[in-house]
Copies of this chain bind each other. A is one copy, B any other.
Amino acid sequence: MRQFVLVAHDGPTTPAFSLDALPSAGRMDLLARCVTSSLLLSHGIRTDVRMHLVLGGEYTVTVEGDAVEQLHPDERSTAALIRTALEHREEAVGRMAVESSPGVSILRGGLSAILAEIAETGSVITLHENGTAASETEPPADPIFVLSDHTEFTPADESTLDAYTNHRLAVGPESLHADQTITVAHNWLDTDGFSEY
């Protein structure tokens, strides 16, 4: 399984945002693209993927490739799925996640909570422009890629990550948007061992 954890520092923590103004809703445009670039292929879905969106350090919305329904490639409909999850945030109590729509759930807690939950299911790797070159690195079996939104990891994020891994991986020499980084990370795994497609 491949997992992505996007730390959305400015991500909304309530559903009080407009689908007509996604960039001003904590960069919900970017967050929606991160969900779709994690999960969608041209004519299908990556069923072996889970995407975790850490919103403002307070909630984590998880989208599961093998269960999600009505996930479309555009930002607006994907943002609506996330907004629906946020409508159920009060039902997420303690460490219990609540399913808001098929394959989409919300959990109370941020980066440390979600890593405590999933770290044992794979290898935690930070995607960061100041990392070792992916092209020189052997892909792990069950990567859990952690990456940040349009802002840098905070010192608190860094301490949390230090508890799991010091491994930073760069997918290329250019500084990419988070959704572009996810697309390239998938391709790195997809092409591993292939010389003909």
Residues of A at the B interface (CB closer than 8 Å) are: 19-20, 22-23, 29-30, 33, 37, 40-44, 72-77, 129, 131-133, 135-136, 150, 170-177, 180, 183-184, 186-187, 190-191, 194-197
Q: Write the nearest CB–CB distance from A8 to chain B, whole angstroms.
A: 14
Given A41-B174, A136-B196; 12 other pairs, CB 8 A cutoff: A19-B20, A20-B76, A23-B72, A23-B74, A41-B176, A42-B180, A75-B75, A133-B195, A135-B195, A172-B187, A173-B190, A173-B197
| Contact between chains at A29 and B190 (CB < 8 Å) | no
Q: Write the nearest CB–CB distance from A101 to chain B, whole angstroms.
A: 19
Chain B residues positioned under 8 Å from A23 (CB to CB): 72-74, 77
Instruction: Please report the C-alpha to C-alpha distance between residue A174 and residue B186 in the assembled complex, in whole angstroms.
Output: 10
| Contact between chains at A22 and B74 (CB < 8 Å) | yes
